[in-house]
Each structure stands twice: as C-alpha cells, then as structure tokens.
Amino acid sequence: MSDIPVFRNYIAGEWKAAASGAVMENRNPSNRDEIIGRFAASDAEDVKQAVDAAAEAYKTWGKGSAIARANILHKAATILESRIPEIGRELSREEGKTLKEGIGETTRAVQILRYYAGEAQQPSGEHYPSMNPATLLYTVREPLGVCGIITPWNFPIAIPAWKIAPALAFGNTVVFKPASLTPLCAVRLVEALAEAGLPAGVLNLVTGSAGKVGDPLVKDDRVVAVSFTGSNEVGGELRKTMGARGGKLQLELGGKNPAIVLADADLDQALMHVVNGAMMSTGQKCTATSRAIVDRRIADAFTEKLAQRIASIRVGDPLDPDTQMGPLIDDKAADRVAGEVKTAKEQGVTHVFGGERLSGEERERGAFVAPALFTNVDPSSRLGQEELFGPVLGVIPADGLDEAVAIANQVRFGLSASIFTRDLATALIFAQQAEAGIVHVNSETAGAEPQVPFGGMKGSSSYSREQGKAAREFFTQTKTVYIDLPPVAK
Ligand code: NAP
C-alpha cells in the first residue's frame, strides 16, 4: 500500500473526495521525486456542492452573533499556533521557502486569525445626526453572502488566512479554492477552523485546477463576491466575468517594486534590505524588490557590495537551517526565470551574474536557480518593467531624487516602494510622490504588518485594500436605517 497521504475537499462540514474520484499530486519543489500528497482534483460538481452548502449555511451564520464568530476564530488561532512547527515545515516542503520563512508565515496566519477575532467585536456602524431631531439615524455593516476566495501559491497559508478570517468574522460564508501547487497549507488552515467549531457549510474547501474549480466558482451567480490574489492576466479575466454578472471583486495582483538608494543613505542598512527584499522567498513575493534605483554617484560601489552579498547566498534545501534561499515553486517557473535572464543578456543588459538553473546532484532534483544581478538596466526595458517573480535584481542608476522617483513610478504596477535616506524631508517627499499603496523608508519593500491596510495602486490592485480594518470595506455592505417614532397618542 502507498504511504502517500490523501487529502480531501471540505464541503458541508465533511471531508470528502472529488465527486468524480479524480486526484492530483503535489510535489516538493526541492525534490520533484517526493510526492507530498494526493488531493481532490475537483470539478464543477464539487464547486456546486460547496456553493450549495455555503448558501445554506449563510442563512444562519450571517445572522448570528459576531461574538460567537470571534470565539471560533480565537480558538482556530490557538489550534493553529499549537501546530506551527509542523505546518511551517510542511509549508517549506510544499512551497520551497526556507524553514524560517515557513514558520514565520504560519505564525503570521495565527496573528491574522487573532486580529480578526478582535475585529469581529468592533463597532460595525455609525450613528448620525438627522434633520429631524426625533429620528434615530444610523448605519450597519452587513455581510455580503457567499464569498469565493481564490489564492496564489506564494503565501499559501497567510493569504488564505487574511481573506478567509475577515470574510467569516463579518458574517459571510466561504468557498475557498487554493492554488493547485499548495493545497496542503490550505487543508491545514481549514482543519484548524473546522476543529474550532465552524458550523457545517460556513467554510468549504475545493481543491483542483483553475479551469475546473476556479472558473465555475467565479461564474456561479450565488457567489456574490470574489477576493482574488494572483497574476494580472487572471485578474483581467475575472474583471470581465465578475463585471458581466455584477459581482463584487477584489484583486491583489503583481508588482515591480523599487528600492531607491540615495547617496546619503546608511549603505549597510540599504544593502541588507535591498538584498532581503529581492531574494527572500526566492524573489517570489508580490512585494519583492526587483529594481534598485541607485544614485549614480554611488551606483558602482553599491552594485559591488550587492554582488558580494548576493553571491554569498546559500541556495539549497529549505529544510536545511543553513539555507538562505530555496527553489522556485516548480520547474516551469525556474525555466521561465532562467529564460528571462538569458533573453536580457542577449538584449545586451549588463549581467553581473546568476539566473541559470543550478546543477549538481541535489539541486538538479529541484527547481533551483542562482540569484541574479543585472546593472545599468534601462528603466523602459522588459527587465525594468515586467514582474519576473524570481530572484532577479536590476540596478538602475539615477541622477538624484527627482529622476529616481520618476523611474520608480514609470511602471504599470504600484504595490510597494522603498527609499533609503537619512534626510527627513526627502523621505516625506518620497512618501507623497511614490505611486504605491505601501511606502517604506529605510526598510525593505516586502515588509507588511497585518493590522494595517495592504494593497497596491495602479495595475497592482482593484483600488481595494486587504488586511487591517480595510477588510471590512470589502467583506460587508452598508445599510442606512432611519427610525422615526409613530405619533404618541394623547
Ligand atoms: P495565478 O496563476 O493568477 O493564480 C492565482 C490563483 O488563481 C490560483 O489559485 C489559480 O489556480 C487561480 N486561477 C487561475 N486562473 C483562473 C481563472 N481563470 N479563474 C479562476 N481562478 C483562476 O497566480 P500565481 O502564479 O498563483 O501567483 C503569482 C502572482 O500572484 C504574481 O503575479 C504575484 O505578484 C501575485 N501576488 C500578488 C499579491 C498581492 O497581494 N498583490 C500577493 C501574492 C501574489 P491554479 O493554481 O489551479 O492555477
């Protein structure tokens, strides 16, 4: 008998195989010979059952007590917290980020569940003065109904947590379709919430492909809202589908995030944050630094320091405590990144090193790519404009703040942006002028805390924000209530 674990969908409070019985395999990106598990390869029938269950559960969950919802989220946080070491490890095996990052991300998911347990208990409306002093005039935020949650593989437990927790906290029910490359983390999150006592049908997990699960989910009219994080291409498709049927849609998409390094910066601080921003999680963060826009006067010296630091990154098995960078998510992604690097070199971009698939016995078994550095990158070139989603950093020299900011803003994305300077006025000007939803001064583009809004400007988002109190905006709708008393009988 095979000892490969089998995982099922969670629909109407039961763990069940896909209606068709089909399964899909999930492999370790560090070692493609290792099968992590077999998961339900679901289709439209499973999606229908999940939406049926969520619609039925909404009748009571949506009208229930916010305090009871908070208690369940608190309990789920405690359950998940007790499993951080093993889930963090599974996350690293499944996604490829280092063990430290896997544990850090799982810990973040716990914080998010706790945060929304608290948010569920916050005031959910406002009291207004009325023209008529006898009128009681107020608003309440009510849930939307059944929400579809579609998530990417790069934060396989934190992103699902930061969508599902507020959706549930504010009274919605959920059908969750995780990325096909990271279904195990999705199962672990849903297990914690189910064990915490969520009533049947409130949260439903359906694993399977974009076409067979994602597509029927976004096309089901009973799914009144979809929160999606992923690529701009898929985001564009969802805009059309949801727009045509009038559903509410939240998109969190790609980035091409700049870090500006000015001549007055503390260069050691800048170096550490630019390298971490570019290379942690193998460059596969939507907020990763992919452009270092460096004052021309220090560009050569700073590039040299970058080269030394990046060349020393230890690439290997994410479970080895000495590893600083794991593989990409799969061979397709590794070949794509290596191909982009090759093309940039052929186009004459100054290549310092890196970007090739790594050889050697252990590395050949996984999706490993050497971290890459380019310099003198033309800001309008492909390398200067497009999200490569891998460990590739391009240095762009600039003459002073104005040109650096102009280059930083000269992309279709606007997720996160950093500046390194000791000058307060420069920092404030940058904070005003950066076309980015998240601005950092003297820290990396990829830092984000869960209690504040998260999201991008321009092509990086749909003008909505996730996390913090902002999540209530998306996952609720406003009702305005006028209460006038009947005339008092004399
Ligand atoms: P993706 O290919 O767009 O997939 C994201 C999710 O959408 C997956 O669950 C995928 O399913 C599903 N999907 C794909 N096509 C669909 C369709 N037509 N209908 C419904 N669902 C569909 O993105 P990814 O490669 O997983 O993630 C990388 C991208 O996410 C990058 O661009 C990154 O910048 C972005 N990202 C953004 C943020 C942010 O907050 N702004 C955060 C993290 C990542 P399958 O897995 O089955 O294909």
415 lines ligand 1 (CB under 6 A): yes
Alpha helices in 440-488 (DSSP H): 470-475
Confidence of residue 2 (pLDDT cuts 50, 70, 90): low
Domains of the chain, CATH where assigned: 6-253+461-479 (3.40.605.10), 257-441 (3.40.309.10)
* β-bridge partners, 59: none
Which tens digit of pLDDT belongs to each residue from 381-403? Answer: 999 999 999 999 999 999 999 99
CA 231 to ligand 1 center in whole angstroms: 5
Cβ 284 vs Cβ 390: under 8 Å: yes
Helices 66-82 and 183-195 meet at what angle, rounded to 10?
Answer: 120
344 lines ligand 1 (CB under 6 A): no
Mean confidence (pLDDT) of the chain: 97
In this structure, how many other beta carbons lie within 10 angstroms of the beta carbon of residue 363? 18
Which tens digit of pLDDT belongs to each residue from 345-386? Answer: 999 999 999 999 998 877 889 999 999 999 999 999 999 999
Cβ 421 vs Cβ 265: under 8 Å: yes
Cβ 244 vs Cβ 226: under 8 Å: no
- Structural element, H or E, at residue 187: helix 183-195
pLDDT value of position 447: 87
182 lines ligand 1 (CB under 6 A): no
Q: Is 252 a catalytic residue?
A: yes
pLDDT value of position 1: 47
The pTM (predicted TM-score) of the whole model is 0.97
Which tens digit of pLDDT belongs to each residue from 168-178? Answer: 999 999 999 99
User: pLDDT over 90 for what percent of the chain?
Assistant: 97
Catalytic residue among 286, 340, 387, 466: 286
CA nearest ligand 1 atom 30, residue: 230
**Cα diameter, the chain:** 94
473 lines ligand 1 (CB under 6 A): no
d(CA 359, CA 365): 9
pLDDT value of position 485: 87
Which tens digit of pLDDT belongs to each residue from 116-170? Answer: 999 999 999 999 999 999 999 999 999 999 999 999 999 999 999 999 999 999 9
Cβ 162 vs Cβ 450: under 8 Å: yes
119 lines ligand 1 (CB under 6 A): no
Q: Is 185 a catalytic residue?
A: no
Alpha helices in 313-418 (DSSP H): 331-346, 361-364, 382-385, 400-409
CA 479 to ligand 1 center in whole angstroms: 33
Mean pLDDT score, 200-219: 98
Which tens digit of pLDDT belongs to each residue from 286-327? Answer: 999 999 999 999 999 999 999 999 999 999 999 999 999 999
**How many angstroms from the chain centroid is the CA of residue 49?**
27
Probe target for ligand 1 pocket from 47, 150, 463, with the most ligand atoms within 8 Å of CB: 150
237 lines ligand 1 (CB under 6 A): yes
d(CA 323, CA 331): 19
Cβ 80 vs Cβ 112: under 8 Å: no
Mean pLDDT score, 12-27: 98
pLDDT value of position 41: 98
215 lines ligand 1 (CB under 6 A): yes
CA nearest ligand 1 atom 48, residue: 210
Probe target for ligand 1 pocket from 101, 286, 389, 457, with the most ligand atoms within 8 Å of CB: 286
pLDDT value of position 489: 80
d(CA 262, CA 423): 10
User: pLDDT over 70 for what percent of the chain?
Assistant: 100
**Whether residue 488 has pLDDT greater than 90:** no
Contacts of 215 (CB under 8 A, 6+ apart): none
The residue with tokens 């006592």 is 197
Catalytic residue among 252, 340, 444, 466: 252
Name the token pair of 28. Answer: 């370790």
pLDDT value of position 14: 98
d(CA 208, CA 42): 5
Which tens digit of pLDDT belongs to each residue from 446-470? Answer: 989 999 999 999 999 999 999 999 9
418: phi then psi, degrees, rounded to nearest 5: -120, 155
Strand 416-420 relative to strand 125-128, pairing: unpaired
**Whether residue 490 has pLDDT greater than 80:** no
- Structural element, H or E, at residue 217: helix 215-219
